[in-house]
């Protein structure tokens, strides 16, 4: 802290308001000027808000009479370091999002208010020799102090604040008095990293090459580790982390889904004697705050977490790892629409440290960056277990006997698999029983009243559900249009496949894993445990099964229907198809036994299925990149999408037409930016609101961002923007 000089000191504060600017405040004369990264309380309109100081400054654009004084300074020490603030400022600029909301997203909930940070709860106190003597001398005039001494005497490892609080709400005063008298001392905190618990296994040549390449990078470098499923990418991570921890630095490890953290965490704990924090949704806010403080204070060695953990500050950052980098869940789809991969790369570059992206099916963006030499590519073509990749065969649904979605060869293969005592896995990316309810007499289809979408019949719950807005209805007894006494269900969902399998294989133990069967906390873990224990003979599930879980007992994978992805309007559909099928197929044949993958399709001649059969990522990527280049899609162009929705039909579209005119005026000065015509969204009505979108693209990033900043300012200033709900998505993943 520095002393204020004659009241001329100003600070620029990021406030949690939907405005993309900083707010200047005067530091009252005689008050210490807060450092950047400290929270302050400031008057804002009629309210008082808590914000984060981003910078000090000597002058403001505001006339002096309009400058207000800070109301209070919350933190004496900055919560966020200059590197963190630089990252958050970059994110706010890049995603055109209010910097105050970005800062709030980066802080744990308990630090978003005006409470000073609580003392690190992992501190422990223990008894000193003087304390033992005082205890032996008896209670005297301070009974609470005596109780604390007695409790501490029973716990050699010491007690933390939570334990002491249980003794009395007034524990703190009594403890302070005991600390002053040297009767109690604070126990030293555990070292963040204490060493290895086990010797690492010998690395394969491919692993060794990747480990060496990553270890040789000094400063920032982005590494893409493309390894086939089961090639041991985690071992590469562990070895790189080991080197960074030995240097006394910290690692951040990001995974797409929380259900993956237990298996990763146990591998980390088996390898490292270290403070490892896992940030997941099961934590209380207090636990989250503690983990955040340990990371920011340098007291943890490794932080594992999902998307939002990318913001956790590290006192001594050494390495960032992003596993399954292709996973779409790294992109936040609502509100503050950032992509954790791109934030992680920027973060590593600002910190001057390497970042490792790993995947068996890299995103085309990352692979393209590797081909261009911007990322360093390492490829692993072998599994350390020497288990071969599964053989993949196509089953032509048009020419095979099919019963309730299961073709005869698939049925026979499941039966043979059972007879050998092995597990099979069936993948279908559609939950529920049937995706359509239909009247055979008049052709009526059950539609969601609030969306342009069909309702799915969930038979166990006997409900019709909309998978887009959550609408729930009951199945009509007769056709509401023509009165036909019986309506029928069409198509298959996971519930239906489960039933069919149960009929085909009476007595088989079948585990279904989808959003319906894993709604309650811990349910997914329980089901996975049953699968691992070998209790389940057949697994049926949605894309939740594609997310990197290991199922060593599975030797047969059946893809029930891949055709919906072959003919999707989404330009990323072929990429998703390759990723999904490869990832699901990769669950198979992990141990010594080779596996088989059977893909059911009506279009076995599709060129997109050939690289899938041959496990040929490079061939797939060449084909897909050529298509993207021809169509001017990412990674050859950069996109931004303005979305709008409103309760009235055509209101959103009319708004976008006005914004389109505004954009064309602005784009005159940035000719490299192309502004498309506004269109109704593919699913125009959703949750009772009409939606439309407007795409902007450019081959160059810089002019696009100059344009977007000006355009967004003009949109915010326009009156029309108040008639709709709108958002601007930079690098959108979902265009439909």
Q: Give the interface segment with Zn ion, choosing from 350-358, 439-447, 533-541, 583-591 (CB under 5 A).
A: 439-447
Looking only at the bridges linking them, the beta strands covering 538-541 and 423-427 are parallel
Q: Which of 444, 505, 571, 603 binds Zn ion (CB under 5 A)?
A: 444
Piece of 113-121, 473-481, 531-539, 715-723 that binds Zn ion (CB under 5 A) = 473-481
Among 22, 27, 52, 439, binds Zn ion (CB under 5 A): 439
Which listed residue (8, 212, 442, 445) binds Zn ion by CB under 5 A? Answer: 442
Q: Is 360 in the site for Zn ion (CB under 5 A)?
A: no
Q: Does 441 bind Zn ion (CB under 5 A)?
A: yes
466 binds Zn ion (CB under 5 A): yes
Cα–Cα distance for residue pair 259/15, rounded to 1 Å: 34
Among 4, 196, 315, 469, binds Zn ion (CB under 5 A): 469
448 binds Zn ion (CB under 5 A): yes
* Smallest distance from Zn ion to CB 567, Å: 22
Helix axis angle for 99-106 and 82-94, nearest 10°, is: 130
CB of 689 to Zn ion, least distance (A): 11
Instruction: State which residue, 233 or 471, has the beta carbon closest to Zn ion.
Output: 471
- DSSP summary character for residue 571: T
* Residue (312 or 437) nearer to Zn ion, CB: 437
Minimum CB–partner distance for residue 331 and Zn ion (Å): 23
CB 429 within 8 A of CB 409: no
Give the SS3 label for residue 440.
coil
Find the shortest distance in angstroms from Cβ 735 to Zn ion: 20
Contact indicator for 676, 695 with CB cutoff of 8 Å: yes
Helix (H, G, I), strand (E, B) or coil at 500: helix
List CB contacts of 64: < 8 A, sequence separation 6 or more.
Answer: none
Among 246-254, 321-329, 432-440, 600-608, the segment contacting Zn ion (CB under 5 A) = 432-440
Distance of CA 664 to the CA centre of its chain: 35
CB of 453 to Zn ion, least distance (A): 6
Burial of 227 per CB tally in 10 Å (0-12, 13-18, 19+): buried
360: alpha, beta or left, given left = phi > 0 and alpha = psi -120 to 50? alpha
* Closer Cβ to Zn ion, 248 or 480, answer by number: 480
Position 603 contacts Zn ion (CB under 5 A): no
Which of 471, 498, 685, 712 touches Zn ion (CB under 5 A)? 471
- Residue 450 beta carbon to Zn ion: minimum distance, rounded to whole angstroms: 5
- Cβ proximity to Zn ion, 150 vs 490, nearer residue: 490
Separation between Cα atoms, residue 49 and residue 71, nearest integer Å: 9
Enter the DSSP assignment of 311. Answer: G
The site map against Zn ion for 477-496 (x = CB under 5 A) is --x-xx-x------------
Cα distance between residue 18 and residue 715, in whole Å: 14
Count the site residues for Zn ion by CB under 5 A: 15
Question: Closest CB to Zn ion among 85 and 466?
Answer: 466
| By CB under 5 A, residue 451 contacts Zn ion | yes
CB nearer to Zn ion: give 436 or 469: 469
450 binds Zn ion (CB under 5 A): yes
Which one, 186 or 482, has the nearer CB to Zn ion?
482
Tell me how far, at minimum, the Cβ of 83 lies from Zn ion, in Å: 44
The least distance separating Zn ion from the CB of residue 736, rounded to whole angstroms, comes to 15
In angstroms, give the least distance from the CB of 493 to Zn ion. Answer: 16
Nearer to Zn ion, 20 or 689 (CB): 689
Q: Which residues contact 383 (CB under 8 A, 6 or more apart)?
A: 228, 230, 231, 232, 389, 590
Nearer to Zn ion, 143 or 443 (CB): 443
Dist CA 679 CA 691 (whole Å): 9
Contact flags string 391-430 toward Zn ion, x per CB under 5 A? ----------------------------------------
Give residues with Cβ within 8 angstroms of 343, minimum separation 6.
87, 91, 310, 311
Tell me if 336 contacts Zn ion by CB under 5 A: no
**Binding span for Zn ion by CB under 5 A among 64-72, 373-381, 422-430, 448-456:** 448-456
How many Å apart are CA 296 and CA 698, to the nearest integer? 38
Look at phi and psi of residue 94 and say left if phi exceeds 0, alpha if psi is from -120 to 50, else beta.
Answer: alpha
Q: How far is CA 414 from CA 500, 539, 558, 580, 682, in A?
A: 13, 11, 9, 21, 38
Taking the complex as a whole, how short is the minimal distance between the CB of residue 30 and Zn ion, in angstroms? 60
Please give the backbone phi and psi of residue 495, each rounded to the nearest 5 degrees, phi first: -60, -40
Strand pairing report for 23-26 and 10-14: antiparallel
For Zn ion, the closer of residues 438 and 608 by Cβ is 438
Mark the segment that binds Zn ion (CB under 5 A) among 19-27, 66-74, 474-482, 504-512: 474-482
Kindly indicate which of the ranges 11-19, 142-150, 404-412, 431-439 contains the residues binding Zn ion, using the contact rule CB under 5 A: 431-439
SS3 at position 540? strand
Who contacts 318 (Cβ-Cβ below 8 Å, separation ≥6)?
244, 245, 247, 249, 250, 251, 353
* Shortest Å, Cβ 653 to Zn ion: 20
The Cα–Cα gap between 162 and 125 comes to: 11
Tokens of 572: 């990323």
- Binding status of residue 162 toward Zn ion by CB under 5 A: no
Q: Per CB under 5 A, does 475 bind Zn ion?
A: no
Contacts of 164 (CB under 8 A, 6+ apart): 125, 148, 151, 171, 175
Query: Of 91 and 451, which has the nearer Cβ to Zn ion?
Result: 451
Kindly state the smallest distance separating residue 364's Cβ from Zn ion, in Å.
31
Q: Please say which residue, 439 or 675, places its beta carbon nearer to Zn ion.
A: 439
Q: Shortest distance, CB of residue 485 to Zn ion, whole angstroms?
A: 10
Question: Looking at beta carbons only, is 8 or 490 nearer to Zn ion?
Answer: 490
3-state secondary structure of 503: helix
- Residue of 468, 515, 576, 720 interacting with Zn ion (CB under 5 A): 468
CB 584, min distance to Zn ion, A: 28
| 578: its two tokens | 């390759």
Nearest distance, CB of residue 518 and Zn ion, angstroms = 22
Nearest to 503 by CA among 552, 538, 455: 538
CB of 481 or CB of 718, closer to Zn ion: 481
3-state SS class at 350 = helix
| Residue among 450, 440, 525, 445 at smallest CA distance from 486 | 440
Closest distance between Zn ion and the C-beta of residue 648, in Å? 18
Our finding on whether 593 is near Zn ion (CB under 5 A) is no
Residues that bind Zn ion (CB under 5 A): 439, 441-442, 444, 448, 450-451, 466, 468-469, 471, 479, 481-482, 484
């Amino acid at each position: 802290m520095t002393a204020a000089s004659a009241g001329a000191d100003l600070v620029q504060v990021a406030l949690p308001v939907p405005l993309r600017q900083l707010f200047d405040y005067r530091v009252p004369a005689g008050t210490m000027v807060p450092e950047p990264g400290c929270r302050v309380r400031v008057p804002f309109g009629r309210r008082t808000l808590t914000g984060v100081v981003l910078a000090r400054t000597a002058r403001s654009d505001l006339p002096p009479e309009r400058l207000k004084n800070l109301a209070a300074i919350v933190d004496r020490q900055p919560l966020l370091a200059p590197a963190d603030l630089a990252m958050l400022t970059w994110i706010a600029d890049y995603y055109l999002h209010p910097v105050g909301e970005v800062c709030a997203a980066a802080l744990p909930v308990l630090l978003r208010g005006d409470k000073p940070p609580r003392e690190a709860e992992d501190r422990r106190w223990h008894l000193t020799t003087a304390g033992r003597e005082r205890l032996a001398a008896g209670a005297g005039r301070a009974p609470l102090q005596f109780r604390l001494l007695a409790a501490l005497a029973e716990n050699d490892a010491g007690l933390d604040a939570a334990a002491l609080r249980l003794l009395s709400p007034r524990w703190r005063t009594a403890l302070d008095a005991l600390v002053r008298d040297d009767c109690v001392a604070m126990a030293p905190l555990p070292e963040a990293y204490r060493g290895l618990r086990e010797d690492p296994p010998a690395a394969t040549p491919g692993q060794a090459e990747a480990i060496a390449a990553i270890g040789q990078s000094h400063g920032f470098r982005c590494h893409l580790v493309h390894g086939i499923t089961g090639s041991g990418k985690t071992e590469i991570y562990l070895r790189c982390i080991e080197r960074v921890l030995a240097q006394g630095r910290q690692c951040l490890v990001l995974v797409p889904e929380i259900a993956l953290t237990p298996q990763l965490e146990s591998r980390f704990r088996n390898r490292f004697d270290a403070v490892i924090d896992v940030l997941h949704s099961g934590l209380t806010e207090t636990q989250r705050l503690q983990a955040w403080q340990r990371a920011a204070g340098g007291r943890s060695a490794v932080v594992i977490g999902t998307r939002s953990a990318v913001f956790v500050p590290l006192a001594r950052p050494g390495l960032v790892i992003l596993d399954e980098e292709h996973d779409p869940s790294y992109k936040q789809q609502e509100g503050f629409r950032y992509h954790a991969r791109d934030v992680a790369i920027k973060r590593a570059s600002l910190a001057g440290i390497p970042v490792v992206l790993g995947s068996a099916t890299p995103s085309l963006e990352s692979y393209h960056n590797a081909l261009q030499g911007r990322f360093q590519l390492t490829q692993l073509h072998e599994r350390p277990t020497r288990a071969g990749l599964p053989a993949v065969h196509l089953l032509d649904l048009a020419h095979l006997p099919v019963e309730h979605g299961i073709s005869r060869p698939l049925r026979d293969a499941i039966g043979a698999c059972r007879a050998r005592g092995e597990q099979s896995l069936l993948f279908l990316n559609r939950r529920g029983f049937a995706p359509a309810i239909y009247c055979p007499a008049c052709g009526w289809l059950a539609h969601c009243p609030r969306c342009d979408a069909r309702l799915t019949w969930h038979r166990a719950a006997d409900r019709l559900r909309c998978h887009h807005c959550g609408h729930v209805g009951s199945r009509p007894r007769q056709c509401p249009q023509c009165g036909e006494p019986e309506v029928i269900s069409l198509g298959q969902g996971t519930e239906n496949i489960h039933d069919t399998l149960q009929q085909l294989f009476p007595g088989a133990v079948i585990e279904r894993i989808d959003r319906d069967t894993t709604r309650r906390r811990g349910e997914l873990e329980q089901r996975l445990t049953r699968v691992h224990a070998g209790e389940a003979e057949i697994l049926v599930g949605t894309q939740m099964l594609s997310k990197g879980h290991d199922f060593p007992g599975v030797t047969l994978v059946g893809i029930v229907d891949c055709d919906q992805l072959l003919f999707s309007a989404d330009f990323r559909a072929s990429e998703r198809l390759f990723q999904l099928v490869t990832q699901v197929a990769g669950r198979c044949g992990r141990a010594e036994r080779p596996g088989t993958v059977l893909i059911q399709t009506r279009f076995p001649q599709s060129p997109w299925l050939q690289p899938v059969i041959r496990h040929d990522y490079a061939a797939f990527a060449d084909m897909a990149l050529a298509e993207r280049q021809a169509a001017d899609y990412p990674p050859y162009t950069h996109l931004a999408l303005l979305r709008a929705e409103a309760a009235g039909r055509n209101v959103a579209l009319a708004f976008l037409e006005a914004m389109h005119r505004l954009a064309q005026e602005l784009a005159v000065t940035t000719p490299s930016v192309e502004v498309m015509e506004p269109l109704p969204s593919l699913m125009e009505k959703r949750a009772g609101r009409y939606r439309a979108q407007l795409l902007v693209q450019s081959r160059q990033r810089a002019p696009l961002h100059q344009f977007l900043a000006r355009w967004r300012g003009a949109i915010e200033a326009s009156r029309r923007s108040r008639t709709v709900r709108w958002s601007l998505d930079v690098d959108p993943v979902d265009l439909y």
